[in-house]
């Protein structure tokens, strides 16, 4: 399985500001995924990021709020823009590896005050 790291591991932010989360993989992958896990909830897919093309967003998520970059095959960023307390969540990136299995990074815990 791939080794995935995320930065920052956690952050406390003020409302109205933006935070960029980084996801680094130790091998080249075609697709990277970004998920949100709200407190006490399950994971919800935000978007799928392919290298060299626009990210594909799921219903309820828009690019202006969650812009994503995918500059190469081992790295992606997710920005949470103009944050409100409702954005307080864990944000996880994942990649698809062997046998169509997704492997996850350790997550970024975000608290918006």
Nearer to other proteins, 22 or 102 (CB): 102
Which residue's structure tokens are 């990277």?
Answer: 32
Binding mask 16-55 for other proteins (x = CB under 8 A): ---------------x-x---x---xxxxx--x-------
Nearer to other proteins, 1 or 17 (CB): 1
Residue 8 binds other proteins, judged by CB under 8 A: no
Say which residues have a Cβ less than 8 Å from residue 108's Cβ, sequence separation at least 6: 6, 7, 8, 9, 10, 11, 21, 90, 91, 92
Nearest to 54 by CA among 68, 75, 34, 74: 68
CA distance 64 to 47: 13
Binding mask 61-90 for other proteins (x = CB under 8 A): -----------------------------x
CA distance 17 to 73: 28
Residues that bind other proteins (CB under 8 A): 1, 31, 33, 37, 41-45, 48, 58, 90, 92, 94, 96, 99-104, 106-107, 109
């Amino acid at each position: 399985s791939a080794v995935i790291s995320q930065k920052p591991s956690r952050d406390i932010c003020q409302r109205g500001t933006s935070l960029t989360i980084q996801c680094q993989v130790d091998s080249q992958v075609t697709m990277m995924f970004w998920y949100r896990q709200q407190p006490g909830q399950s994971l919800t897919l935000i978007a799928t990021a392919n290298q060299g093309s626009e990210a594909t967003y799921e219903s309820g998520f828009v690019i202006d709020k969650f812009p994503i970059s995918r500059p190469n095959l081992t790295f992606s960023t997710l920005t949470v823009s103009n944050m409100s307390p409702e954005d307080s969540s864990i944000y996880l990136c994942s990649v698809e590896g062997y046998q169509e299995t997704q492997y996850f990074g350790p997550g970024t815990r975000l608290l918006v005050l």
